[in-house]
Chain A
Amino acid sequence: MTLVDLLVEPWTFDFMARAFVTTTIAAVVAALLSCWLVLVGWSLMGDAVSHAVLPGVVLAYILGAPFALGALVFGGLAVVLIGAVRDTGRVKEDAAIGIVFTTLFALGLVLVSVTPSQTDLSHIIFGNVLGISSSELLQVAVLAVVGSAVLLVKRRDLVLFAFDPTHAHAIGLSTRRLSALLLGVLALTAVVTLQVVGVILVVAMLIIPGATASLLTQRFGRMLVLAPTISALSSIVGIYLSYWLDAASGGMVVLVQGAVFAVVLLAGPRSALLRGRARRRVRARVSR
């Protein structure tokens, strides 16, 4: 078997073709969003919302409603609950986040366990991109287009929100609305991405690409190109690997993304190893 055969063969199966397309779409929208999430410092929030959507998605499945609707409701609920717990002033914010999202995630697990036709639902948790149907693919595509469009139209406001929320406020923008917008897109993107890697690993796709891109450039505009490109390519490699090695597709996609991040961190243009100690000392002084 030649290399070309190896690369082409998967595409001769419809289910593999759908898997490649779905993965690419999800990788792109998740990577776009990740550029803001890493800059705002919302990794934990991404983790929380992406887990907290599980009960919403399961309820939507039971009621026959769109997954995105259930995800938005429970993503919003998670944010409200986190705020309420934190504002009691009795626990710190990270504890509030940890308590709320794990509880909602647990509710989702319980709902999955008591709902008939459990096979379908376990796919939500672990992802099942190799088994995705055409209609699911269409839903993913629509949500991804909506999410990406919102991000790109509002990209300057969102950058300002991430960089200097006080100035955003001072010139009359609503930081509350911008953060709600970002959280809404986060819930939508979670629905898209969980089809590929499952609820548990969604957060990886929401953080790793942006973090990788931020190591490669100091221009936000370039991050918006680099992150989706790297994310899409590494996800496609992940799907190939899972096909060839007959390994879990979601896990493989995230493994490749993590490996790419590690390579960039250690050997990339702005890597700490290449810089040497003297440069780092200078940076430490500058950043003070």
Chain B
Amino acid sequence: MSGPGGAPALEADGVTVRYGDVLALDGVTLRLGRGTVCGLIGMNGSGKSTLFKALLGMVDLTAGTVRVDGGTPARARRRGAVGYVPQTEAVDWAFPVSVRDVVMMGRYGHLGITRRPRPADHEAVEAALERVELTDLADRQIGQLSGGQRKRAFVARGIAQDARTMLLDEPFAGVDKRSEATIVRLLRELAADGRTVLVSSHDLHALPQLADEAVLLLRRVLFHGSVAEALEPDNLARTFGLDVSDARGGGAA
């Protein structure tokens, strides 16, 4: 599963994370190759966001190691190699920035000390906006977008950043079918470019079109393999700890 460079794009080895008494991740081992979309499936509190934070080097690991592109997370961050689309609840939607401002933030790693954008940066931002079909709404305050448009704005930020690896935390929560289809298409395009995309979700119905592989998470990795196998009732029952027909129908919560 490793790409042309040899090393996997993302590598977690025995990653354990504790918040005080709470064991959020327990020996998570995971390897992702380049050019793939991987769905990270788990119920609320299963540790999806924590795994992202571990991959970004944002939480102290109790045990284990993380490698991104064969190097430390810190090195990957300095190179702007990791793009991150936050969970909706983590964003202050009343913040006085426009959609374009948000996408421009993807360029900051490429810019000088004052982060004054150059013409090439403006072009990259316009191109990214175009790609997610938000050009017309670029001057709106970020909170004045619909749920799906907000997600697309953050995906555009990752595109403008030119990140080789994209981590998306629940991009389909509160998103309608059309926006969902747009986001799925975008992520497939990114993978076709050779980027690695890790998408967390507790929602299953987009998974077959979206992902090449799936990881089922409940503090530990319960399963890692093909999407079809991941969706088998036994696996889902273990992941969500509830009646399987519920999980398949309602997208489980």
Real binding pair: yes
**Which B45-84 residues have C-beta < 8 A from chain A?**
53, 56-58, 74, 77-80, 82-84
B141 within 8 A of A: yes
Residue among B83, B90, B91 making CB contact with A170, cutoff 8 Å: B83
Residues of B within 8 A of A164 (CB): 86, 91, 105
Residues of B close to A173: CB separation below 8 A: 108-109
In the complex, the answer to whether B105 meets A167 with C-beta atoms within 8 Å is yes
Contacts between chains A and B (CB distance < 8 A), count: 78
Q: Is B20 in contact with A166, judged by CB distance below 8 angstroms?
A: no
Which chain B residue lies CB-closest to A35?
Answer: B96
Any chain B CB within 8 A of the CB of A276?
A: no
- The answer to whether A241 has its CB under 8 Å from any CB of chain B is no
B161 near A219 with CB under 8 A, answer no
Tell me which residues from 192 to 249 in chain A have a Cβ below 8 Å from any Cβ of chain B: 214, 217-220, 223
**A-side binding surface: helix, strand, loop or mixed?**
helix
Return the chain B residue nearest A220 by Cβ.
B96
Interface magnitude class on chain A: 20 to 34
- The residue on A at minimum CB distance from B114 is A153
Chain A residues numbered 92-106 whose CB sits less than 8 Å from any CB in chain B: none
CB-contact partner of B77 in A39, A153, A170, under 8 A: A170
Any A CB within 8 A of the CB of B29: no
Residue of A nearest to B80 (CB): A171
| Given contacts A166-B84, A167-B105, A172-B78, A157 and B96 within 8 Å (CB-CB) | no
Would A160 and B96 count as touching, CB distance under 8 A?
no
Residue interface bits B206-235, CB-to-A below 8 A is 1, else 0: 000000000000000000000000000000
**Does B92 interact with chain A (Cβ within 8 Å)?**
yes
State whether A169 and B77 are in contact (beta carbons under 8 Å apart), knowing that A160-B108, A164-B91 are contacts in the complex.
yes
B86 touches A172 (CB 8 A): no
Residues of A within 8 Å of B161, CB to CB, are 171
Provide the bound-state CA to CA distance between A172 and B77, in Å: 5
Among A162, A169, A172, the residue within 8 A (CB) of B95 is A162
A167-193 at interface with B (beta carbon < 8 Å): 167, 169-173
Shortest Cβ distance from residue A76 to the other chain B in the assembled complex, whole angstroms:
23
Interface: A275 (CB within 8 A): no
A interface footprint on B177-211 (CB within 8 Å = 1, 0 otherwise): 00000000000000000000000000000000000
**Pick from B58, B95, B98: contact of A166, CB under 8 Å:** B58
- Answer whether residue A287 sits at the interface, using C-beta atoms and an 8 A cutoff: yes
Known contacts A171-B77, A171-B109, A172-B109; decide if A166 and B86 are in contact (CB<8 Å). yes
- Inter-chain CA distance A96–B57, complex, in Å, is 27
Please determine whether B20 and A89 come into contact, CB atoms closer than 8 angstroms.
yes
Minimal beta-carbon separation of A196 from chain B (angstroms): 27
Distance in angstroms from A107 CB to nearest chain B CB is 32
The distance from the CB of A170 to the nearest CB of chain B, in whole angstroms, is 5
Contact A287 B115 (CB under 8 A): no
Which chain A residues border B82 with CB–CB below 8 Å?
Answer: 170
- B22 on the interface (CB 8 Å rule)? no
A-to-B contact residues, CB < 8 Å: 39, 89, 153-157, 159-160, 162-164, 166-167, 169-173, 214, 217-220, 223, 286-287
Beyond the given pairs A39-B95, A286-B144, 19 more chain A to chain B contacts, judged by CB atoms under 8 angstroms and listed by A's residue number, are A153-B114, A156-B108, A157-B108, A157-B115, A163-B91, A163-B102, A164-B86, A164-B91, A166-B86, A167-B84, A167-B86, A169-B56, A169-B77, A170-B83, A171-B106, A172-B77, A172-B79, A286-B93, A286-B143
